[in-house]
Amino acid sequence: MNLLQNLNSVEKLHSLILEKKTGSPKALAKQLGICRATLYVLLDDLSSLNLPVAYSRKYETFYYKK
């Protein structure tokens, strides 16, 4: 994944998390055009930037803990 694709994926991921409309991890990875492993790397990257992310099974969406 090149830098531009990575940046676009992070921007889209951030937007979907803010809207709480990510869907399941599998669906989100497909929507972003990445594999689930890469999705979790991006989520870890957001957490390292002091944006801790959690997943709600009830609502099937990722969200920011803060």
What are 14-49's pLDDT values in tens digits?
999 999 999 999 999 999 999 999 999 999 989 999
Number of domains making up the chain: 1
Report how far residue 40's alpha carbon sits from residue 56's, in angstroms, rounded to the nearest whole number: 15
Residue 53 DSSP code: E
Host domain of residue 58: 3-64
Q: pLDDT value at position 3?
A: 73
Domain of 39, CATH number, reads 1.10.10
